[in-house]
Amino acid sequence: MLTELSVVEQRYLAVREALDGAKVIDVATRYGVDRRTVHRWLVRYANEGLGALADRSCRPERCPHQIAPEVEARIIGLRRAHPGWGPRTILSKLRRELEQPPSRSSIYRCLVRQHLIDQKPRRRRPQDYKRWERSRPMELWQMDVMGGAMLEEGTECKVITGIDDHSRFCVIAKLVARATARPVCDALLEALSRHGVPEQILTDNGKVFTGRLARKPATVAFDRICLHNGIRHLLTAPYSPTTTGKIERLHKTMRTELFDGRRFASIAQAQDELDHWVTHYNLEREHQAIGDVPPIRRFELVEGVSPAEVVDPDAATEEVTQPPRHTVGRRVDHAGRISILKHRYHVGRHLAGQTVQVESVDGLLHVTHHGVLVATHARRHLAEDDDRMDRRAKASTPARPTTGDEVLRKGRPFRIGQLRRNLLPGGQPLHRPRGRGALGGRYGSDHPGRDAPAHPPSPARQEQGVRSTLQPQRQAQEDHSGCRIGTGAVPRHGY
């Protein structure tokens, strides 16, 4: 009958065979173990007896690199005080406190044991990502617009951000209600005035940054600012956020440490807290990508340089009110003089008939001819009368034609003999063609080369013209200063 032996019993039989004189190598071959294992069983049996042949733990008796309880407590305290800190950030803090700080992987395992972080599988860095960095500050800025800043009323605000590529120094962080073209340009101009003008600016293809991809390509305000200030504007390829990875990483840090789970009473309050966060980020917070030093350590090389003058091409220029220039033109008479407000000034007979320009400046009248100063006189009229220098006597506007039955024509009175000569034989008046006037045409039917009207004049024309020989004679006898033609109209001037 077969009986199954336990592990301890089998090891005891092997030890008995070795003690009875069998070779150790033969015993190891028979039991399928290494000869060093048989020697270990012999030593443990000789020192501790039969119970020592049982299985033991593989844990080492001591671990020289194990984290001390005090250090582990410090790690847990830093993580609970700053939930956003990971193993690398905690390690940078412990390096200032301990001479021999634990490794990053040890801190990670400590946080996993305490259930302070979730264990995630390690991801390999994609090989197609190429890390790049400019060699000095102010060589390249990256700009973008970030959302996620919420107000208590439920409104989402936008954050206009900018970062220096070399130093990771945050140069722009401005909260706006809407990230349209003008607020973005104002944030850029403010940063240029504070920190200076970089050589290049890298942005995505947003409409506030460029009009290249619009239906009708155009130059937007952001491009004009870059052009007038000597900045080269670089654009990423469409759908390539990794090109501006530095500012995207700034957005992640800003959301995690400031905006996630928070609502602000107003934009002013949110901007105030954002300014404090940016100050801590630039001056105190270590950045892992630049050797765990604050960004100011790299950016301070250009902090002492005085910023250049910033040009805003779209700014409304203030119009400087210039005093009015009183300049008039005058024609020189035959005696070589001109008249200004009833005062005569001598210019020169050689300019007789020519037009000169007269300008009143500081109590003097400067007379120029084709841009050459020909005379200067003391002004004789008052300064407040300069506005009246160019006033001329306006010609009287002719009155509209009368529509009544009587027209009063001022001028040299007609004589009865002259009026009779303007009449046709038989007492019929001489009529002019249509649209000529009240006294008839320039030519009669007896004029050589001219034909009389084909049709007799209308009654209206007869009323406006001379209807008989007796009527002009009566009107000439009544008023020798003019000639009244027709009846029933009010006298008017200017016909």
What's the CATH number where 75 sits?
1.10.10
Query: CB of 146 within 8 A of CB of 236?
Result: no
Query: CB of 146 within 8 A of CB of 172?
Result: no
Indicate the pTM of the whole model: 0.52
How much is the pLDDT for 413?
Answer: 52
CATH number at residue 164: 3.30.420.10
- The C-alpha angle with vertex 375 and arms to 374 and 381, in degrees rounded to 5, equals 145
306 lies in some domain: no
Sequence letter at residue 93: K
How much is the pLDDT for 302?
Answer: 74
Whether residue 428 has pLDDT greater than 80: no
222 lies in some domain: yes
Q: Are residues 262 and 341 in the same domain?
A: no
Q: Which helix (H) or strand (E) holds 7?
A: helix 7-19
Whether residue 26 has pLDDT greater than 50: yes
Q: Are residues 279 and 221 in the same domain?
A: yes
Confidence of residue 488 (pLDDT cuts 50, 70, 90): very low
Whether residue 430 has pLDDT greater than 80: no
CA distance 319 to 300: 39
61 lies in some domain: no
Which of 108, 72, 70 is closest to 89 using CA atoms? 108
310 lies in some domain: no
Residue 437 structure tokens: 């006037």
How much is the pLDDT for 457?
Answer: 53
How much is the pLDDT for 56?
Answer: 82
171 lies in some domain: yes
What average pLDDT is seen over the chain?
79
Q: Are residues 344 and 453 in the same domain?
A: no
Report the pLDDT averaged over residues 231-248: 90
Q: Are residues 145 and 169 in the same domain?
A: yes
Q: Are residues 144 and 267 in the same domain?
A: yes
Mention every residue, 6+ apart, whose C-beta is less than 8 A from residue 100. Answer: none
Could you tell me whether strands 232-235 and 200-203 are parallel, antiparallel, or unpaired per DSSP bridges? parallel
Sequence letter at residue 56: R
372 lies in some domain: yes
Whether residue 398 has pLDDT greater than 60: no
Number of independent structural domains in the chain: 5
Q: Are residues 150 and 254 in the same domain?
A: yes
Only one residue has tokens 């048989």, namely 38
Q: Are residues 331 and 444 in the same domain?
A: no
Q: Are residues 12 and 145 in the same domain?
A: no
Q: What is the pLDDT of residues 265-318, one digit of tens each?
A: 999 999 999 999 999 999 998 888 888 889 999 998 775 556 668 888 877 544
How much is the pLDDT for 412?
Answer: 54
Report the pLDDT averaged over residues 220-239: 92
- 425 against 442, higher pLDDT: 425
Range of the domain at 457: 407-485
192 lies in some domain: yes
Query: CB of 362 within 8 A of CB of 411?
Result: no
Q: Count Cβ atoms below 10 Å from residue 201 Cβ, excluding itself.
A: 23
* CA atoms within 13 A of residue 282's CA, in its CB half-sphere: 18
* CA atoms within 13 A of residue 283's CA, in its CB half-sphere: 7
Least confident of 243-252, 314-323, 351-360, 377-386: 314-323
Q: Are residues 105 and 194 in the same domain?
A: no
Q: Are residues 270 and 346 in the same domain?
A: no
Whether residue 4 has pLDDT greater than 90: no
Whether residue 193 has pLDDT greater than 80: yes
Q: Are residues 88 and 211 in the same domain?
A: no
Q: Are residues 291 and 419 in the same domain?
A: no
Q: What secondary structure letter does DSSP report for 429?
A: B
Q: What is the pLDDT of residues 445-476, one digit of tens each?
A: 444 444 444 555 555 444 444 444 445 555 54
Report the pLDDT averaged over residues 13-38: 91
Whether residue 416 has pLDDT greater than 80: no
Residue 390 structure tokens: 């160019």
Report the pLDDT averaged over residues 329-335: 89
- 411 against 326, higher pLDDT: 326
Mapping DSSP onto H, E and C, the string for 272-312 reads: HHHHHHHHHHHHCCCEHHHCCECCHHHHCCCCCCCCCCCCC
SS3 content of the chain, % helix, strand, coil (to 5): 35, 15, 50
Percent of the chain with pLDDT over 90: 34
Q: What is the pLDDT of residues 98-107, one digit of tens each?
A: 888 999 999 9
- The C-alpha angle with vertex 326 and arms to 321 and 331, in degrees rounded to 5, equals 155
393 lies in some domain: no
Sequence letter at residue 174: K
